[in-house]
Structure 1
Amino acid sequence: MPHTAPEDRGGDMNPDAATEAFLTHRNLLFTVAYEMLGSAADAEDVLQEAWLRWVGVDLDDVRDQRAYLVRIVTRQALSRLRTLGRRKESYVGPWLPEPLLTSPDVAEDVELADSVSMAMLLVLETLQPTERAVFVLREVFDLDYDEIAEAVGKSPAAVRQIAHRARAHVAARRPRGVVSPAETRDALEAFQRAVQTGDLQRLLDILAPDVVLLADGGGIKQAALAPVVGAGEVSSVLGRIRPTQLVQAAHVNGYPALVFRVDGEIDTVMAVRIEDGFITGLYAVRNPEKLARMGRETALHR
């Protein structure tokens, strides 16, 4: 099911019409920007830039406010995405998306939860900027090709080709199946108990033999500079977690995750990927620049 904001209101414009229209679609616009950028902070910056452009528009000339706003946000996000790509080339260690606090209602929407999951956002990182924009707008939000063409500055025919190419690219790399939030929650609870008790055998029981741990310290916090592969290696790394850390469950990027706190401050956010009852992927974000906003931001809702 496509994820859309409420329909535009009809009637005469009033002095607050621009603000009202922007707020009506703000959640949609933020999600588009976040899925394109993998960064909540950058998505907020894009929305601020979009707002400054929106208030300068003559609303009488706007036929479809939602489409117009999506077009502004997409173009701003594309510009920023190209800049971010250059920065990531010099990033220290693995790059992971900024974890996004989400509410349980997002987890109930399996398609939306999957689209903002760490695993999917990393797949989207392998697309070219325009391919990523087209994929997000078409596959996640079900925009028509004409609308997407306006947003990315391509012809509808070109957009159809880009969408086909991006769809095939993602299909070959995305997680093999969608796991229910309940199944993920059960596995996460077992994982949390194992981590808190330091029970390596219990960890080995729930980690897939080929599990991969990616840790993002951004060169600021200690983290593995390369993927850690294999249940034995991963359990050894996790066994070094200090028992003094407070470990809490939270909804992050559409699925349950673990939040590690030290002296009340978020130290690590760890998202998981579950397949066939085993943990196959762990995504540990430790870069404090990516964790600063999480504690003070309102959770993303549907």
Structure 2
Amino acid sequence: MTNNGWTSSRDELLHIELLDWAYDRSGTGHTVPDVSDYLDEHEDVDEAALDAAIGSLSEHGLLEVAVTMGGIRNWSIAPSNAGTAEVRARRDRRQNQAARAVAARDALLDWMYAQKRAGVGSPIPTNVLRDPRGHFEGDPFTEREVDDASAFLADRALVNAAAKGAGGVVLRGDITPSGEVVVEQHGSSLRAWAAAERSGGSQFVTHFNAPVHGQVGIGEQVNQTQTPAGINLEVLQTFLDDIRTAGADLEPVDQTYLFTYVDLVQAESSNPEPDRAMLSGSMDRLKSIAAKVGNAGLTASVGALVTYLVTLL
């Protein structure tokens, strides 16, 4: 999953949907729902892909699996404590209308880029809803959200409308050369593209003894928020942003789990009395992911976070 919430592959979407399903079933009296139930309800899901998703969710500590004789259909699954926390946090994030709008624009632009590369001329933007990109945190965008995104992209000359509807909605269109620049040079992020445009192509982040993130003018007063647990949220945000940046080029599934545990750390740290076991477990998972992918920058960023938080736990 991308760092602003839209889904980029079917594997990612399956992982999210499976964890959601296990959470919902566990909360309705099916304390250990069987995999066969999921397959019966989702006939289009390939058993091999489901097996891989279960294994990955289990490996990353989000799903508890009871393996029995007779194959995958007889297995039972339930979300772990970390999995339950992630489902609840994700459902909260799905309600953020501003985040959904930003993600819809980026996702639609990325999809239109893929359509052009596949030789599809003037695709219908709402067809993105048939693609994994048509989801925010695993939840489908609405047609209205896609319409608004298409009008936004056309207004900024990132998409060329072959046919328009009311309100500037693009009924058919193609990505423009400027739109291709956003995808190819800025990871399909309009926010990153806009920041680069404002700064003339470069961005600079200044750290003052680690606690301050961003640009600070001379003589400007900087206020920092500290939780009752002693966690400085501005310092924490710096470390988490560094991890997200270091993980920007990971494989989609690895990136999904990385961002999942980053989100868990952020959410739990904001609580007046954070669950220290949850934070410790999430940090262990982050270290495990960094070691698995062999990314030196990510390992360093995770190490910095752990060094900061371990003194407070």
Same fold (TM over 0.5): no
Please give the TM-score of this superposition, normalised by the length of structure 1. 0.30
Structure 1 or 2, whichever has the larger Rg, is: 2
The structure richer in strand per residue is 1
- Relative contact order, higher structure (CA 8 A, sep 6+): 1
